[in-house]
């Protein structure tokens, strides 16, 4: 069977406090809000990452109260390739963001955003 999917376009993260989440994503990663987000019936922000995007959606969390695994590698997560590993690690330390190393031995760490969404950060 031929795959009909061309590429991953975006990933969405449900957030409870858009201002807190924006501060997290913009301070840690240097993201800049995209002007391409249309007017929607809920608040949010889009970030352009090359040809892909991350969307923060300020909507009620359907998983509120769910217990998430401590290590993000065994939870649903978004993996982001990091351009400068040393800068990432300094920012994690400066901002006091807890992380856990990948269990595979790869140059990767897992973090959680303020809403407990898991992110894998991969160095190359």
pLDDT tens for residues 67-111?
Answer: 999 999 999 999 999 999 999 999 999 999 999 999 999 999 999
Could you tell me if residue 63 is left (phi over 0), alpha (psi between -120 and 50 degrees) or otherwise beta? alpha
Q: Which fold has domain 10-60+69-122?
A: 2,3-Dihydroxybiphenyl 1,2-Dioxygenase; domain 1 (3.10.180)
Is there a contact between 85 and 123 (Cβ–Cβ < 8 Å)? yes
Of the candidates 19, 23, 47, 20, the one whose C-alpha atom is nearest the C-alpha of residue 33 is 47
- Given a cut of 90, whether residue 117 has pLDDT beyond it is yes
For residue 108, what pLDDT is reported?
97
| CA dist 60 → 37, 76, 82, 93, 123 (Å) | 19, 18, 30, 30, 33
Mean pLDDT of 4-24: 97
Is there a contact between 122 and 108 (Cβ–Cβ < 8 Å)? yes
Domain boundaries, the chain: 10-60+69-122
- Given a cut of 90, whether residue 55 has pLDDT beyond it is yes
Of the candidates 119, 93, 89, the one whose C-alpha atom is nearest the C-alpha of residue 25 is 119
């Amino acid at each position: 069977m031929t795959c009909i999917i061309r590429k991953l376009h975006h990933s969405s993260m449900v957030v409870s406090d858009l201002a807190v989440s924006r501060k997290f994503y913009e301070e840690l990663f240097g993201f800049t809000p995209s002007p391409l987000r249309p007017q929607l019936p809920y608040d949010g922000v889009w970030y352009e990452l090359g040809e892909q995007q991350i969307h923060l959606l300020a909507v009620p969390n359907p998983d509120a109260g769910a217990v998430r695994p401590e290590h993000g590698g065994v939870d649903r997560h978004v993996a982001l390739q990091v351009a400068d590993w040393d800068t990432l690690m300094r920012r994690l330390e400066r901002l006091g963001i807890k992380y856990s190393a990948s269990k595979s031995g790869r140059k990767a760490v897992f973090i959680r955003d303020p809403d407990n969404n898991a992110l894998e950060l991969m160095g190359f």
